[in-house]
Amino acid sequence: MPQTLFVSPEDDLQAVFDRAEENAIIHLAPGQYRQKLMIRTPGLTLIGAGAEQTQIVFGDYAKSPIPSAGNSIPSGLTRWRSAQMVLP
């Protein structure tokens, strides 16, 4: 059975993502999560309270991919600059 975690907008999502086990399910309470994040754990499932109620937001260079030259990005992954993630 996968690990199940529950978080609120006051929680440090990066710390939650970093300690989550592979294939964990993370339930995000309603609210706006203003954090820069990188998900490194394979198979995480994020479940919010709906697109109007749960949002992960940060505005630095929204919708711009980070150039891969000189960066160590694992094969098969693409890093994107922060934008907005809406969780249905």
**Is the pLDDT at 40 greater than 70, yes or no?**
yes
Q: How many whole angstroms separate alpha carbon 39 and alpha carbon 16?
A: 10
Compute the chain's Rg from CA coordinates. Answer: 13
Q: What's the CA gap between 49 and 54, in Å, rounded?
A: 6
3-state secondary structure of 12: coil
pLDDT band per the 50, 70, 90 thresholds, residue 17: very high
Flag whether pLDDT at 9 surpasses 50.
yes
Q: Total structural domains in the chain? A: 1
Range of the domain at 60: 1-88
pTM for the model stands at: 0.68
Contacts of 23 (CB under 8 A, 6+ apart): 2, 3, 42, 43, 44, 45
pLDDT tens digits for range 53-65: 888 887 665 455 5
